[in-house]
Amino acid sequence: MVIILLGPPGVGKGTQGALLTESFGWERIATGDLLRGARRDGTELGRQAQSYMDAGNLVPDELIVALVREHLKKLPPERGVVFDGFPRTLAQAEALDQVLPEVGRKVDAVLLLEAPADVLVKRLSGRRSCPQCERIYNIHFDPPVTEGTCDECGARLIQRKDDLPDTVRHRLSVYRDQTRPLVTHYEEGSTPVLRIEGDRKLEHVTRAIRRSLVKQLGVEA
């Protein structure tokens, strides 16, 4: 089973991806994790990625895809996979289409989490993080007991630059331009695209995902 999680920033892909792997025993593949692991282990691909990052450049798609291929080859063939945050562009999706048959896999479904832009701006711009213990809060949904102060360690909370409202709107625009075309790509290739409303409570979204996978793909609940 190969599932691709798609959706705009702030819709909850990371959380739902982690819950899927926990529920079904699947492997969650996030390219950021693959990059960090390769760099930490000092692999050849990791050294190549580090050279791009040290120069302030994006790691090219070819290298990302090579990391994905290498990781998939290490997995037992019966283990399911959830791609979280990859592919992001049509070029990456087309490259993944070439890689999966090499390891005896195919994309079984795309889980598309959706939410209105104003909801996502509120979610992301409301995030605050602790620079010491790294706990994340949200001033709208999960605020600290004392405003601006971490409950765990007492440090002053900060707002990341990429969570500022204008930056969030730009991130959503980039998503629409680069990632939404992936939906068309998979639909035209007859891959089921399962649309899930992501602006509900966490547990409701999780149940909707499980019901959809059971109904459409026969996944055991």
Q: How far apart are CA 132 and CA 48, in angstroms?
A: 31
Catalytic residues: 13, 88, 127, 160, 171
pTM (two decimals): 0.85
- Here the tokens at position 121 are 């701006």
At 221 the pLDDT is 60
Domains and CATH numbers, the chain: 2-115+179-217 (3.40.50.300)
Rounded to 5 degrees, φ, ψ at 49 are -60, -40
At 119 the pLDDT is 93
Rounded to 5 degrees, φ, ψ at 112 are -105, 105
- Bridge partners of 83? 4, 29
At 54 the pLDDT is 78
pLDDT, tens digit only, all 221 positions of the chain:
999 999 999 999 988 999 999 988 999 998 888 888 888 888 888 888 888 877 777 788 898 899 999 999 999 989 999 999 899 889 999 999 999 999 999 999 999 999 999 999 999 999 999 999 989 999 998 999 999 999 999 999 999 988 999 999 998 998 888 888 899 999 998 899 999 999 998 999 999 999 999 888 888 76
At 125 the pLDDT is 94
At 81 the pLDDT is 95
Centre a 10 Å sphere on the Cβ of residue 56 and count the other Cβ atoms it contains: 6
At 52 the pLDDT is 82
Nearest to 40 by CA among 76, 67, 74: 67
